[in-house]
Structure 1
Amino acid sequence: MIDIHAHLLPEVDDGADSIEETLRLARAAVKEGITHTVLTPHHNLNWFINEKDKVIKLTEMVQKEIEAAGIPLTVSPSQEIRMNEEFAEEILAGNYLPLDQKGKYYLVEFSWNEFPDFARSYLKQMLDAGMIPIIAHPERQNPFIKNIDLLRELIDMGCLSQVTASSITGGYTRRIRRAAKKMMKENLIHVIASDTHHHVKRPHNMVEALRIIDKKFSPEYKDYLVNNATKIYNSEEIQPFHK
């Protein structure tokens, strides 16, 4: 598997707080069957500023540490980008890191409690430029939980969305688990990722989440969510899921 959303970079956000924790998370990823992790530190979120060059440099360092520890995991640099008023200008200038090698897919995070007025315009600018926003964990954000039609509107525009594995396993609240289930049932979720921050407090939970999806939805939908992570990394097109 490829995990397109994970906070393994040490001491840059609320994820790994040391290189030792980074390595613990890397080992945990391998146990989950993950072979490649895209490192997505928060950017533009409060005091978390992780600019492009910094993330690339740190990712190279982390890869060397992982290899030195004998862990069979490949990592690549990206960002979980909080949308703000400078977002469109910065992304069109090439100042943000994509999830893939060709600059097609970007992981975009919104405010937990508000959907900004400028968001639709900025997303359209991205789409018009051939960039596809992947909305991070909508099942955990109040604007989408309260109004699933807002998420549907963005998907209809051409955006994609990513569910967090722990939302499915019950690692958060019952409300979030219900929201995840409803969004998946209505085909508004395209890819699953761990969004792991800590090997105990916020683990990967990918295997358990996929077991639940296999049982409650279908093996085909489980494979769809997993395979789309590979397609995103390889800059391939994502098709809607057909039951």
Structure 2
Amino acid sequence: MRKALRNLWVFGREEALSCIFPVIIFASLGLTKLVHLPYIPRYDLILLICLIAQAGMLFFKLESLDEFKVICLFHIIGLALELYKVHMGSWAYPGPGYTKIWGVPLYSGFMYASVASYICQAWRRLHLSMTGWPPSFWPWLIGIAIYANFFTHHYIGDYRYVLIAVLIIVFARTQVHYQLEESSFRMPMVLGFFLVGFFIWIAENISTLLGAWRYPNQTAAWAMVHLGKITSWFLLVVISIIIVAQLKHIKGERDRRKVLPKAQQEISS
């Protein structure tokens, strides 16, 4: 029991540290709802806080340069999705702001980047590794198909459940391994996708309550985000983890090729 409680404490501590950037965003949403600065619209103030936080993460070495590159990629991916979804009327940002582009405040990209930040941080802090990872072709294909479905379902139908069925089959044998001090654990990769997506859905409810954005059914008064959104976040998490895992695999192969010639030279000498 003592060891189990210790592992629970370590897991909670590492998860909390991995959530530094998402927590900063939530804090900024709450702070800017209560505190208003003259001549600085709320969305612009949130963007300023996010930029300072990102700079601080790098300065204090809470994020590596490689992790920062991944986060920037997710900022672009998320902002592109936001521009399209707001244009299609899926949700809206009703408040004013100088840093809004086609109705979308630039800070919104940081909400997607915070998901990538969490994944990168958790990967490093929990020493994540995968077994049974499918050949690279399948993760890239599924990731592209999922991202495309977020755009195309407005025209040719929503195939998210087909995509979920396919990824369950493709990742059926994939296990994610993590370490808590001297103890090792594992869980099915698909379960990991769902758990992260579920907690993001909870965070989304808090975000809409704080006025970060509004869905059409929240225009008159706040209402709980539809349960169907869990599948949306589930699929977004799949894209996020696939990109991070594939990039780490590429980096690992690149580093291995750099080390191998040196090792061969040492052996020959």
TM-score tier (shorter)? under 0.3
Between structures 1 and 2, the one with greater helix share: 2
Greater CA radius of gyration, 1 or 2? 2
